[in-house]
Amino acid sequence: MGELVNPKKGEVTTPGSPRLGFEEPIDQGDLIIPRAKLFQGTPTEADEYPDAKGGQVINSLTKEVLPSVFVPVFKFTEVVKFNGRNQKDPDFNPAYAPGALIWKVTDPQDPRWAEGDFGPNGEKPLAMRTLRFLSYFPGVQMPVIVSFAKTSYRAGKQLLSLAQFTPGNMFDRRYRLGTKKEESDGNTYHVFTVALDGISTDEERTIALDWYKALRGKALKVHEDDVGFTE
C-alpha cells in the first residue's frame, strides 16, 4: 500500500516527486489519503484510538492529533449511502455488512445525487451529502481530507462560504479547525467549527499548489471510507 509519507522529519511529500525507491509508477488507487477524524469517544473509537480524548481531531491513518490550523487546497462534494448499523435500522440491507459503504457518487447528474437532499416536507435524506476539502496542515507531511457531514455540515458550508467570498485561490487563506459540544435528544456529541486564521505563507501556498496539480480531479481513496463516519 502506498502512503504519502516522507521519512525525513519536517519535509512534505508531493506525489510524483523523484525519490529513490519510488521509480515504479504509482497506481492512484493504492494511495490512501488520511481523514481528519473528529473523535467522539464512543467505545468502538476508544478501542482504536486509546490515547484520544473527546473533541480531538486526529489523523485517521497515523492516529496523531492534528494541528488546529489548516490550508484547504480544493473542495469536492460526494453523496454516499451507508448501510444501517443493525437490523433495527430501517435503512439496513442484509446484503451488506453493518455500516458498509453501499454506493458513492460525485456527479450531480447521477439520479442518486438527489438522495442527499431533504424531502419537500423536511424528510430526512436517504443518503449523506459530504463536503470534503483536501487540506494541508502545516507541520503534517501528508495531505488530509477534512470532511463535513451530518451535524458538522453547517461548519463545512461556513468554510465554503468564507473561501468563496474572499479573493484569490482557496489555499491563499489559512483557517482554524475547532470543535464544540452540542446536545440533541439527550445525546451529547462534538461537531466541527471553522474560523479564518489569516493569509497563508509563501511556503504553504507552494505546497498547496503542488498538491492541487498532483491530486485535483483524481479519484481519491479516503481512509475509512468503507464504513459510515460521524463528522
- The number of domains in the chain is 1
Query: pLDDT tens digit string along 12-23?
Result: 455 555 678 877
* pTM exceeding the 0.85 threshold for the entire prediction: no
Average of per-residue pLDDT across 185-196: 89
Q: Which of 76, 40, 48, 37 is nearest to 182 (CA)?
A: 40
Query: pLDDT tens digit string along 38-89?
Result: 988 777 777 777 778 888 999 999 989 999 999 999 999 989 888 887 777 8
Weakest-pLDDT range from 44-53, 110-119, 203-212, 221-230: 221-230
Q: For position 221, what pLDDT does the model report?
A: 84
Examine residue 21 and state whether it is found in any structural domain, yes or no: no
Examine residue 113 and state whether it is found in any structural domain, yes or no: yes
Who wins on pLDDT, 200 or 31?
200
Examine residue 64 and state whether it is found in any structural domain, yes or no: yes
Its domain, for residue 169, covers 28-222
Q: What is the CA radius of gyration of the chain?
A: 18
Q: What number of helices (H) and strands (E) belong to the chain?
A: 3, 10
Instruction: Assign 188 to helix, strand or coil.
Output: strand
Which grid cell sits at 81?
449511502
Examine residue 8 and state whether it is found in any structural domain, yes or no: no
**3-state SS record for 129-185:** EEEEEEEECCCCCCCEEEEECHHHHHHHHHHHHHHHCCCCCHHHEEEEEEEEEEEEC
Q: Which of 139, 148, 224 is nearest to 179 (CA)?
A: 148
Examine residue 4 and state whether it is found in any structural domain, yes or no: no
Secondary structure (DSSP) of 89-104? STT--TTS-TTBEEEE
Q: For position 185, what pLDDT does the model report?
A: 76
